[in-house]
Amino acid sequence: MSAVASPLLSVRDLRIVFDGRHGPLTALDGISFDIAPGEILGVVGESGAGKSLTGTAVIGLLDPPGRISGGSIHLDGRRIDDLPPEPMRKLRGRQIGAIFQDPLTSLHPLLTVGDQLVETILTHLPVGKVQARKRALDLLKEVGIPAAETRIDQYPHQFSGGMRQRVVIALALCAEPKLIIADEPTTALDVSIQAQITTLLKRLCREHGTAIMLVTHDMGVIAETADRVAVMYAGRIVEIGPVAEVTRRPHHPYTAGLMASIPSVHTRNAVLSQIDGAMPRLNAIPEGCSFNPRCGFASELCREHKPGLPVSAHAAACHFPLMEPAHA
C-alpha cells in the first residue's frame, strides 16, 4: 500500500531539539514520512532511536525542554504542529487516538471502564448518555471483551493485562479517530496475547479505515502487523519501505543487523548475530553517518558525509546500500 498518493498524516523534515545548559541537542534530525488511511506504518529501532519521540510530537504531547525546531506535521491536509494547546487538545481526542505500552497508565483506577468510555464519547461526539453507553458496549464487544454487558461496569484492576489493553484500544477508537499512535502496545503482554492484539489492530485498521503509527522495537511485530516500516537510528530514518521488501532484503546495514538478531524457527542452536556498540548519546552523535562507528562497511565517506534518504518506495540513507556491489 502506498501512502504517497493521498496521505492522511504527512510529516516533513521534522526536527526536535532539547535545550540544555550547553546548547540545544538534536533529538530528531529531519524526519519525513506519510501514512495513508487504513495503513499501518511500523516505526522500529533500538531504545533512544527517536521512535516514541516522533509519536509524541505528532500527537502534540512534547514537553519542554523539548521543542520542534523545524519541519511540519499535517493531518488530513491541515497543519497541526503549530496549533495552540486548546485546539490541539480537541484534535487529539477527536482525530488522533493513542495506545500506550502500559494500559494502567491510560485507565483511571477509580472509574469503571464504562464510565471512562462514556465520558470520552460524550466529550467528543454529539450523542446523549444512553447512546454513549451503547457505543461503549459495542466497542468493548468489537475489541473482544467477553461478557461485555457485565464487564462494562467493572474497574481496570478486575481485568487482565491483555483485556486492559483491549479496553485502551476501545478508548482510542471512541471518537472514531482518523489516526492512532500505538506506542509499544504489546511489549508488556504475553506472546500469545501479543498476537491477539496485533491481529485486532489490523482488523480495526481495515474495517474503520484508521491509519496507525505502530512504534515498537520488535521487528517480529512489525513483520506481522505493518504494511510499511520506517527504521530509525539516532534520530533519523535510515530505511523505509514495504515490510516484505525491507525485512527480506534490507538495504541499510543497521536494518540488516536488526533482522540478523531475530532467532530463526528453521535453524536450531544457531548463534544469534548482534550489532556491536550502542546507540550514541545526543551529545555524542558522530559526524557523517551516525551509524558508521558500528558499521562493518563504513568508509571515509561515511565518516565525513551524512547520507540522504532518497525519495522512493524502498529507500535507505546509506552511501553503500547492501544491494550494491560495494558490499558484495
Delimit the domains of the chain by residue range: 9-95+175-264+273-327
Which pLDDT score is estimated for 214?
96
Q: Confidence class of residue 62 from pLDDT cuts 50, 70 and 90?
A: very high
Least confident of 41-50, 258-267, 298-307: 258-267
Which pLDDT score is estimated for 4?
43
- Return d(Cα 46, Cα 52) in angstroms, integer: 11
**Over 80: is that where the pLDDT of 125 sits?**
yes
Q: For residue 316, what are the β-bridge partners?
A: 239
Which pLDDT score is estimated for 328?
37
- Return d(Cα 179, Cα 186) in angstroms, integer: 18
Q: What is the pLDDT of residues 88-110, one digit of tens each?
A: 988 988 899 999 888 888 899 99
Q: What is the pLDDT of residues 254-292, one digit of tens each?
A: 999 998 887 776 666 667 778 889 999 999 999 999 999
Which pLDDT score is estimated for 175?
87
**Over 70: is that where the pLDDT of 326 sits?**
no
16 Cβ contact list (under 8 Å, min separation 6): 26, 27, 28, 50, 53, 57, 62, 66, 67, 68, 69, 235
Pairing state of beta strands 211-216 and 78-79? unpaired
Percentage of the residues of the chain whose pLDDT score is greater than 70:
95
Which pLDDT score is estimated for 256?
93
Does residue 65 have a cis peptide bond before it, meaning omega lies within 30 degrees of 0? yes
Collapsed DSSP state (helix, strand, coil) of residue 121: helix
Position 187, amino acid:
T
Q: Which residue reads 514520512 in cell numbers? A: 33
Q: For residue 96, what are the β-bridge partners?
A: 179
Q: Confidence class of residue 2 from pLDDT cuts 50, 70 and 90?
A: very low
Mean pLDDT of 216-233: 92
Strand ranges in the chain using DSSP code E only, listed in sequence order: 9-20, 23-35, 40-44, 66-75, 78-79, 96-99, 179-183, 211-216, 228-233, 236-242, 315-316
**Over 70: is that where the pLDDT of 302 sits?**
yes
Residue 194 near residue 221, CB atoms below 8 Å: yes
**Does residue 316 or residue 197 have the better pLDDT?**
316
For the chain, give the mean pLDDT. 90
The DSSP secondary-structure symbol of 112 reads -
CATH topology of domain 9-95+175-264+273-327: Rossmann fold (3.40.50)
Q: Confidence class of residue 3 from pLDDT cuts 50, 70 and 90?
A: very low
Which pLDDT score is estimated for 112?
97
284 Cβ contact list (under 8 Å, min separation 6): none
Which pLDDT score is estimated for 1?
42
**Does residue 22 or residue 112 have the better pLDDT?**
112
Mean pLDDT of 3-30: 89
Which pLDDT score is estimated for 185?
87
Q: What is the pLDDT of residues 137-195, one digit of tens each?
A: 999 999 999 999 999 999 999 999 889 999 999 999 888 899 999 998 887 778 878 88
The residue among 167, 44, 69, 65 whose CA lies nearest residue 112 is 167
Which pLDDT score is estimated for 267?
66
Q: Confidence class of residue 198 from pLDDT cuts 50, 70 and 90?
A: confident
**Does residue 263 or residue 78 have the better pLDDT?**
78
Which residue intervals of 67-190 are DSSP H helices? 85-94, 113-124, 129-142, 148-151, 161-173
Which pLDDT score is estimated for 327?
41
Tally of CB atoms within 10 A around 265: 6
